[in-house]
Amino acid sequence: NAGVTQTPKFQVLKTGQSMTLQCAQDMNHNSMYWYRQDPGMGLRLIYYSASEGTTDKGEVPNGYNVSRLNKREFSLRLESAAPSQTSVYFCASSAPGGVNSPLHFGNGTRLTVT
């Protein structure tokens, strides 16, 4: 049972380059999320998708775009990477139940922008 799978695990970009982080879940969850984690700060929500076909901004959406391709997949795109986007990115999913449902996280993507 794979759970939540993220790719890639590591990535180094130059300022201005673009890339897409991929995320897929096999738990038939409706809701999916993208978080970033920086030292000294809690995980911060970038974007989320409550169901297939819908996406909403979280706390720190600037510089990012997302696509909920189908129920399984939720991708995060950096159009023009900046050093401030150096971070660890986590994808997560949750079952119906809103905030009462715990989050299941992927392994994370460590992104460095130089």
Partner 1 sequence: RKEVEQDPGPFNVPEGATVAFNCTYSNSASQSFFWYRQDCRKEPKLLMSVYSSGNEDGRFTAQLNRASQYISLLIRDSKLSDSATYLCVVNIRGNKLTFGTGTQLKVEL
Which residues contact partner 1 by CB under 8 A?
Answer: 35, 40-45, 48, 50, 58-59, 90, 98-100, 102-108
Task: With H, G, I as helix, E, B as strand and everything else as coil, classify residue 11.
Answer: strand
Question: What residues are paired with 109 via a beta bridge?
Answer: 89
**Shortest distance, CB of residue 16 to partner 1, whole angstroms?**
28
| 3-class DSSP assignment, residue 47 | strand
Taking the C-alpha atoms of residue 76 and residue 31, their distance in angstroms, rounded to an integer, is: 15
Residue 19 or 50 with smaller CB distance to partner 1: 50
Q: Tell me, what amino acid is at 111?
A: L
CB of 28 to partner 1, least distance (A): 18
Compare residues 10 and 14 and give the one whose CB is closer to partner 1. 10
Report the nearest approach of partner 1 to the CB of residue 10 (Å): 11
Is the distance from CB of 93 to CB of 25 less than 8 angstroms?
yes
Q: Which is nearer to partner 1, 57 or 79 (CB)?
A: 57
